[in-house]
Amino acid sequence: MRSTRWHLPLLLSLSLATAPCWAAGDSDTLFNFVKPLSVVSIGLQDADLPSATGEATAEGEILRRVHFSPAPRPTLRLTPASGSWDWSQAGSMSLRIQNAMDWALTLEIDIENLDGKPGLHASVALPAGPAQTLLVPLQETAPQLFGMRAGVPMPVTLDGQRLLLAPVVTGSLNRSKVGAVKIYLSDPKAAQNILVGRFGTRAGGDELHRAYSAIVDAFGQASRGEWPEKVKSVEQLANAWKAEGEQLKKWQAGAEPRDTFGGLLEGPNFEASGFFHSEKRNGRWWLVTPDGHAYWSLGVNTVNRESSQTYIEGREYMFSVLPREGEPLAAFYGQSDDREGVAAQQGRAFGYGRWFDFYAANRYLASGGLSGQQADDAWLERTLARLDAWGFNSLGNWSEPAFAGASRIPYSLPLAISGDFATVSTGYDWWGAMPDPFDPRFAMAAERAIAIATRDHREDPWLLGYYADNELAWAGQGNSPQSHYALAVGALALSTDSPAKRAFTKQLKDKYHDHLALAEAWGIELGAWEDLDVPGYRAPQPSAGHPAIEQDYSAFLRLYADQYFKTLRDSLSWHDPNHLLLGGRFSVNTPEVLASCAQYCDLLSFNLYAATPQQGYDAAYVRSLDKPVLISEFHFGSRDRGPFWGGVSEVYNEQQRGERYQQFLAAAVKDPQIVGAHWFQYLDQPVTGRLLDGENGHIGLVGITDLPFTSFVEAVRKGNQQVAKAMQEEARAAAKAQPDAPVKPSEPENTASATQSKAGAP
């Protein structure tokens, strides 16, 4: 590790040179790397200034090179020669900077307090390209404070200046006593270079507000970008919508014939049970349509009209045009309140108040003014035509209820269980803490939710089945033992009012009988069983020296999951024995939970965001459970079509979105356990964030203008056709290998013949 320290003398005046601190003016330069203007000490660790002079950029600007070596944290550190900086009148730190590489770099920036207490931190993506002025606000900031998941693209041009504003700043700073500024890279694997010039402060601090001004145009699109489908006029919108309708007719006319429900007409002989079910033949799991044909579910989530509103109250300045009262488009205003207090909403401003629905307004404009039931019918028909023409054969979660009555496409439903039952925290709790299935109130809430969900659907052959809620916090984040067993540790930390804690302590007493036996097995001090009853009890972490800890935690996780899934299974079997229980839509899971789900549910379902399905879960373990798998969510997003967030699985551009979609499906159909994959989601999210939590991703098939993203949809359609072709070929091969009559559900499992999964067969 190499460390160097430079001291550069002031070239202005002796009085300034001896001053202990510097006051910030409107734009105060503290140091110029090319031509020093003040006293600054430079510390270099695994970094250096390779030249004593500056160099000209392509634009003719003179800047100084900083070289970062491959090391854990190569650092450039700037400090006042004596005393501290007084930035009490400043709004942001400023640095003239340019990336000297052909790729983006992520700079880490610390602004330190003089007293050694943690100061401010920012991570800044420095793009390749010309020089810009980096501004780090001297207070905490984040896109969530503007009501959205991801902020405006940087750099932004204001008053002719190219500015790179740090989008997220955390911590706190005593502005009157600033001790240092550190700029560093985190573990670069090769040498990296930047070019720097003037370093100082800037007063005011309204740049962020201005950067967010008028970022949305009259059609709800990002105002500062350009892309092929961007709408500039109502006439263009209407013509494009009409032209797309003609294209859809051509695509639909060339579609391969399928059975009533979208199943393959050539394939193994399955029982026509009148409802969807799953069967295993010759090592592959299949979904089977009510007519008895093989079916691989290609679906789309959130196919609805009610997910595109965005809050405008309090941030009207972000919208270049909003309808005035009395105008036709004013009909698309509304009011909501999304302050539920879950982790997904923490730190987010603008979570309630008046909203506007650009998507509904654009459909109104495109259709020439259709409203009411006519508009609803037109949307339903166009959406069904799109899904059919693009090669989809099912609807994922949270889709429009009207589809269920259309009898045109298979759909699925959520079992969203809510109530005043007890909960257990794992620390993840993205959508809330875990429901406590040992609480009798949970069973009552589940019974009520299932009765309502199944009331109008139990005899509907178009229903695939029901999901066991969505993305519950079965574990903490990460892969550590602490995360794995967070539910067990969280239960023991509760008071004895917790049904889950009582269930866990009973399980321990049944195993050990004497508290001293537990103390010895866990390697802890335990004077009596009552010691476990203390609220906030700190359970021991798993350790190699005491394997019983992990064994007991694992046993409780299985007990917990069994209680949960069995409650749902029993209730669903009573209210609707005809349809599948589609698993838990896992975003986090443990082996214990998956094993329980496999016992009580008909499918395992995963919401995962990875390059291939198998990278999103423990594929070897899931294979051992021998249960069909549905990928209930996946997507690939980018930032080149308007919305600022690239989704959970972000790629560089629209072309890569299509390529990744095809690669994901190709990997999915090769896996004999996977019976379907559902894209998330139908529509792009609003530029300024959806109502629920401010997510604002370009992850849709269709934009806010109700026009599809042409190149992506063509890639999706091709990928879906490839899936259909592959599954048809496999179905034909399976039919030739096994031309016998359908196997009845009551026959024993035989992978040489058939296995049928329905109604929770373990």
**Whole-prediction pTM value?**
0.91
Helix 547-575 with 440-454: angle, nearest 10 deg: 40
Tokens 């063509």 belong to residue: 714
> Final residue of a domain: which of 160, 191, 211?
211
CATH number at 558 reads 3.20.20.80
Per the domain annotation, does 527 fall within a domain? no
Q: How far is CA 214 from CA 217, 218, 221, 631, in A?
A: 7, 10, 11, 38
Instruction: Tell me the C-alpha distance between 615 and 592, whole Å.
Output: 19
pLDDT of residue 8: 37
Instruction: Tell me the C-alpha distance between 573 and 579, whole Å.
Output: 9
Q: What is the mean pLDDT, run by run of 10 residues, along the chain of 762 residues?
A: 39 29 59 77 95 92 97 96 92 96 97 94 96 96 96 94 96 96 97 96 88 98 96 97 95 92 93 97 96 98 95 98 97 96 91 98 95 94 97 96 94 95 93 96 98 96 97 91 95 96 98 97 96 95 95 98 98 98 97 98 97 95 98 98 97 97 98 98 98 97 98 98 95 79 40 42 32
User: Is there a cis peptide before residue 673, judged by omega within 30 degrees of 0?
Assistant: no
Per the domain annotation, does 341 fall within a domain? no
pLDDT of residue 12: 29
Name all contacts of 233-236 with Cβ < 8 Å and 24+ positions apart. 234/365
pLDDT of residue 653: 97
Helix 499-512 with 547-575: angle, nearest 10 deg: 130
Total tally of structural domains belonging to the chain: 2
Q: How far is CA 725 from CA 391, 553, 638, 721, in A?
A: 11, 46, 28, 6
> Final residue of a domain: which of 211, 234, 249?
211
pLDDT of residue 36: 62
> Count of H helices and E strands in the chain?
16, 33
Rg of the chain in Å (alpha carbons): 30
Report the Cα 198 to chain-centroid distance in Å: 38
Domain containing 580 equals 372-478+551-727
Per the domain annotation, does 165 fall within a domain? yes
Report the Cα 374 to chain-centroid distance in Å: 35
Per the domain annotation, does 267 fall within a domain? no
Residue 553, helix vs strand vs coil? helix
- CA neighbor of 582 nearest in space, from 276, 264, 214, 316: 276
Helix ranges restricted to H, 69-212: 207-211
Instruction: Tell me the C-alpha distance between 229 and 714, whole Å.
Output: 14
Per the domain annotation, does 304 fall within a domain? no
> Final residue of a domain: which of 196, 211, 226?
211
CATH number at 161 reads 2.60.120.430
